[in-house]
Structure 1
């Protein structure tokens, strides 16, 4: 279509359009009526000024090109939308999900209504496919196995309610604990409960493994993700390899990991050999393996966040296809949209605020080859359950939402505290606790008009953020907050809070309140804590004789030197 701002082209188009019915143009010139428009056209042609027809043709070609382009664009949109829908349905069809049936408890919302995420990452040693048999070995006698296998890897991943930090805690597979009564809904295999190695709980289904971790740690776990040997291979390939570093030459003759000292990019089988190696690192036990796995995961997280990985549609689709084929998840994560939401939540956390730890352990008094939770483990469990950041041992709980945080300053919040109990001095005790935490020195105390059975915090119109801030400082559940008709904040202490400056767990109409803050310095002590932004960390090769080659015990470095004909894992 011609642009009307271009005068000559516009007029040419209008004249040409008016002349569409040209019934007499093929008649001889002497038969045409003299004068009129025909004469004018003839005169125009004879004088060399007949450009109207030449102007018409490009316009007609332009219209035709636009119609073709429009048709192609519409077709492309339909095909793309159809392909997108096909990809979505295809990826959804890849996902295998099972129900947790509430076995792991449920996370509690903070004072601002936000909920943390706790999920258990399970690495299975099951040889349940031909691919797993080739990768893991051990199927020469048994063939492809059925069932879930054992949980070689168990990591509790905690994402803070405000998405500002995350913690990844490994639980060594050699930990001894009580496994609760469980039944696998698929295999129907069941147990009435027993004391045993924690990784064996997976034999009774992923929900049983979740329930066992929940019982050991007290951390509510609403989700799980399970992958097997072939899943590790496909995921590492999908991201284009993962960069790892080893402190010395290493050859683990059991996992077959063989690398020279320094940094390497591992894909496929090499990546699997690295995360499976327990004899190559540390003291040759599962404890050393958890540290090297953290290094691997940290490198993978950096790869996910690196430029080009999550912005390249082909890479994203390849990663999504590999992940959905590799993973078994709970039904709360059993769709692409839910998995994308989980990935988005994790992506919000900066790498330097993701802390990797390993549960502190002590030798099992009944079996020196097994471990039990050690000193500091309870503080580590409590920190995660209480949504406390372990980055640099800050011990800070999730902050208020940014919009609220900008408008609420504790030093400007004064609370009237009334003692509704029969215990003297309670109002003064809580007033001191608030002012010590930076709340206004204008906080006052009094006796309530009558005794109260339930603690309440009443706030005036528009003062809910202030009330939430005060409640959070005292560990008071949001269910105890209510809006009143007056102004200001009034806390009436009920008989449900007879002592202490943090509201006791186990009370409240909507469940337990936040527990008292844990000692985060004790939580990270001897927990091998490191953050995901540490690219220079190297897996420490074991200096002990943890491997055997041709029947001779030796260190992993000695085995590397002796196995010259064995190709390296990154070759």
Structure 2
């Protein structure tokens, strides 16, 4: 996929219409390549944003009792948000706030190179996470531009990653809403330093590499085997495109899902959720490094969304790549053309609030971990031990026996039938958080 130029959205030209917004000026090949691959960072935030709220809730809940003061303020008892949630996470390629010399030269644009939609079902039993390729060609709606003025929609098309440059985070939301048919009331954006800080706060993420990863553009060099990535190294891993799969952005998405599924498993494990220091550090890093929509800029809201996510089983957290193929002609040659039929199947299921099932592969940037079965068994054993330890530490109140016998005397309520799983076409790639996968590395000789 060519990355020589980074066009902004264009209007489909007619004899009487001129393109209102020009292309972003071309940069050198190295500068351009490094710039566009840099946005693959908000992928971390899928898990982190939800845990950030849990952090303060869990710390407050588990803290030792203190000395009551006359003007003590009671911590609110916040429950899970009611109904379903649609949440957009955006990763920007902006170098704002970064130290000179750490990253490549600023490309001079502000593009949304990562766009991830999180849907939590209304009954809070499953979550679907869709990564939208940055080069996906989409139709632009009418958006306010960065100066607050609107520009015409209904004929503009271009790679989705130009929408941030056109009208900021609100324009990205409107563009994704038009693409997916979903109403998205919550949005957040992150840049380079934010992901570095959050990777450090979680204590690193363990990833499996099946074949060596070699990428001179992001300086990512990893041998085959297991690696615990934090800080800049985690950032480089998420940015790499040339070093995995077929070198395309589609391959990069599946490689990112190797990292993300491992991150979710770690965040939901006892070693993180029962560690107030780790939770506080993670929450602080997340909140300090995100730009939030007004709807999300409230601790109560973050906690309530986190509460809806925290008990969803790993196998019910499904990561999906928005379906498409690299192709196109003219200015959009090498861009991702949507597979509309497969995409319609995804969003029909989400609009119907159905859990989704995968029938395709993980994508060309990842492969199944050959030790997946053993790792899953070890994780299950560790979880069982933690559950037993927690049960032992929380003795049952004496009133529970009478309450349970009273409950037993009552007629049993009919169990709510499980919702039907919508099995997606085999052209849709992805994995669950319970799937152990490895990066499909790509060496310099293969590039």
TM-score scaled by length of structure 1: 0.52
Q: CA RMSD in A?
A: 3.1
Q: Confirm or deny: 8 A CA contact 1:242 1:265 kept in the other structure.
A: yes
Once the two structures are TM-superposed, the CA of residue 201 in structure 1 deviates from its matched residue by 0.3
Which of 437, 440, 443 is equivalent to 1:540?
440
Corresponding position: 1:313 with 2:276: yes
Correspondence 1:146-545 to 2 at 5 A: 149-184=110-145, 187-188=147-148, 191-193=151-153, 194-203=156-165, 204-366=167-329, 367-374=332-339, 375-391=341-357, 407-408=413-414, 520-521=422-423, 523-535=424-436, 537-542=437-442
Q: CA deviation at 1:267?
A: 0.3
Could you list the structure 1 runs, at least 4 aligned residues long, displaced by more than 6 angstroms after superposition. Answer: none
Per the alignment, residue 92 of structure 2 pairs with 124
| 1:226 to partner: Cα distance | 1.1
Contact 1:176 1:364 in 2 (8 A): no
Distance 1:344 1:378 in 2: 29
In 2, distance between residues paired with 1:135 and 1:229? 11
Structure 2: distance between partners of 1:75 and 1:315: 22
Label 1:169 to 1:331 Cα distance change in 2 as closer, same or farther (>3 A): same
Instruction: Tell me: CA distance 1:114–1:392, structure 2 relative to 1, closer, same or farther (3 Å).
Output: farther
Conserved? CA contact 1:353–1:391, under 8 Å: no
Displacement of 1:312 in angstroms is 1.8
C-alpha separation in 1, matches of 2:65 and 2:226: 49
In 1, the alpha carbon distance for the partners of 2:101 and 2:201 equals 20
The change in CA–CA distance for 1:192 and 1:311 in structure 2 (over 3 A counts) is: same
The CA deviation at 1:373 is 1.1
Deviations 1:71-101 (A, max 9, x none): xx9985569x79x99xx9xxxxxxxxxxxxx
Q: Distance in 2 between matches of 1:343 and 1:220?
A: 19
SS in 1 for 2:206: strand
Q: Is the CA contact (8 Å cut-off) linking 1:282 and 1:288 kept in structure 2?
A: yes
| Helix, strand or coil at the partner of 1:382 | helix
Distance 1:74 1:172 in 2: 48
Once residues 334 and 171 of structure 1 are traced to their aligned partners in structure 2, the CA distance between those partners, rounded to angstroms, is 24
The 2-side partners of 1:114 and 1:259 are apart by 43
Q: In structure 2, how many angstroms separate the alpha carbons of the residues matched to 1:220 and 1:524?
A: 24
Q: In the TM superposition, what is the alpha-carbon distance from 1:120 to its structure 2 partner?
A: 1.0
Task: Give me the whole-angstrom Cα distance separating, in 1, the residues matched to 2:198 and 2:252.
Answer: 19
Higher relative contact order at CA 8 Å, sep ≥6: structure 1 or structure 2? 2
Q: CA deviation at 1:184?
A: 4.4
Q: Is the 8 A contact 1:354 1:391 kept in 2?
A: no
- Looking at structure 1, the residues matched to 66 and 413 of structure 2 have their Cα atoms a distance apart, in angstroms, of 51
Contact map agreement 2:261 2:433 (CA 8 A) in 1 = yes
Please report the TM-score for the alignment, with normalisation by the length of structure 2.
0.66
CA–CA distance in 1 between the matches of 2:65 and 2:263? 39
In structure 1, stretches of 5+ residues that fail to align are: 1-72, 89-112, 394-405, 411-468, 474-516, 548-553, 557-571
Mapped partners of 1:344, 1:288: distance in 2: 32
Partner of 1:136 in structure 2? 103
Go from structure 1 to structure 2 and tell me whether the alpha carbon gap of 1:524 and 1:230 turns closer, same or farther (over 3 Å shift).
farther
**1:180, distance to aligned residue in structure 2 (A):** 1.5
Q: Quick check: 2:98–2:192 contact (8 Å CA) kept in 1?
A: no
Aligned-partner Cα distance in 2 for 1:530–1:524: 14
The aligned counterpart of 2:386 is: none
- The 2-side partners of 1:134 and 1:385 are apart by 45
Could you tell me whether the CA contact under 8 Å between 2:214 and 2:441 is conserved in 1? Answer: no
In structure 2, stretches of 5+ residues that fail to align are 1-63, 360-411
2:129–2:319 Cα contact (<8 Å) kept: yes
Mapped contact 2:124–2:309 kept (Cα < 8 A):
yes
- Give the secondary-structure state (helix, strand or coil) at the position aligned to 1:526: coil
Structure-2 change in CA distance of 1:271 and 1:77 (3 Å)? farther
- Look up the SS of the partner of 2:295 in the other structure: helix
- After TM superposition, give the deviation of residue 264 of structure 1 in Å: 0.5
Where does 1:68-107 land on structure 2 (aligned, <5 Å)? Answer: none
The residue that corresponds to 1:450 in the other structure is none
In the comparison of the two structures, how many residue pairs are matched?
322
Of 98, 115, 120, which residue of structure 1 is paired with 2:83? 115
CA distance in 1, matches of 2:422, 2:299: 35
